[in-house]
Amino acid sequence: MDQAPSPSQTAGPYFHLGCTNPRSVRCVAGSNAKGERVRLICRVLDGDDVPVGDSMIEIWQANAEGKYHSPDDPQEKAVDPDCPGYGRLATDENGSCVFETIKPGRVPGNDGTLQAPHMNISVFGRGILKRLATRIYFAGDPANHEDPVLALVPKQRRDTLMAQPDPHQNSDWRFDIHLCGEHETVFFDV
């Protein structure tokens, strides 16, 4: 008897219950939050560039001053009450979801250097045993070349972590998450 789990069993048959609207958090930073307004359009794709319409994305970020809305952030900067810094959305049939937020500020790295503005992302889905952790950076940000985490990623793979500005909408940024394949997004073992 073969006891290897099939892909539909790995995350259970009820994964979609965690993706329902009552548990969705689209607004990562409210309309009164300080900082540059951003609409982040995320899309999840499989290895054949087919949209994954039943995944979920969680996002964590700092406020515009580089402070996380968490008691674990030891910085003496002020917390922005209008920027809780957390969002969670299921992807639609096109593999997409849209977060309303602000561009985060720079946070300190472990070695005292400042990290480039980024968002911490987790991807969940049917067939994924553990969350896939990655980051979203903003293409063209001058601080990217100083970021200690981004420096750990081989140069030819760094583009997989860059949100691209939408040429038609000033505040829109697009980020594709490729779960596998030639353009696979860099995922971190955290």
What sign for the dihedral angle of Cα 164, 167, 173, 174? Answer: negative
Q: What is the pLDDT of residues 36-87, one digit of tens each?
A: 999 999 999 999 999 999 899 999 999 999 999 999 999 999 999 999 999 9
Ordered structural domains, the chain, with CATH: 7-178 (2.60.130.10)
Across 115-119, 129-133, 185-189, least confident range: 129-133
**Residue 19: pLDDT band by 50, 70, 90 thresholds?**
low
* Tokens linked to 113: 């250097």
* Tokens linked to 5: 């789990």
Check residue 16 and give its pLDDT. Answer: 58
Bigger pLDDT: 3 vs 131:
131
How far, in Å, CA of 9 to CA of 69, rounded?
Answer: 35
What sign for the dihedral angle of Cα 157, 138, 102, 20? Answer: negative
How far, in Å, CA of 176 to CA of 179, rounded?
Answer: 10
Check residue 15 and give its pLDDT. Answer: 56
Q: Average pLDDT for residues 161-171, to the nearest whole number?
A: 92
- Helix (H), strand (E) at residue 10: helix 7-10
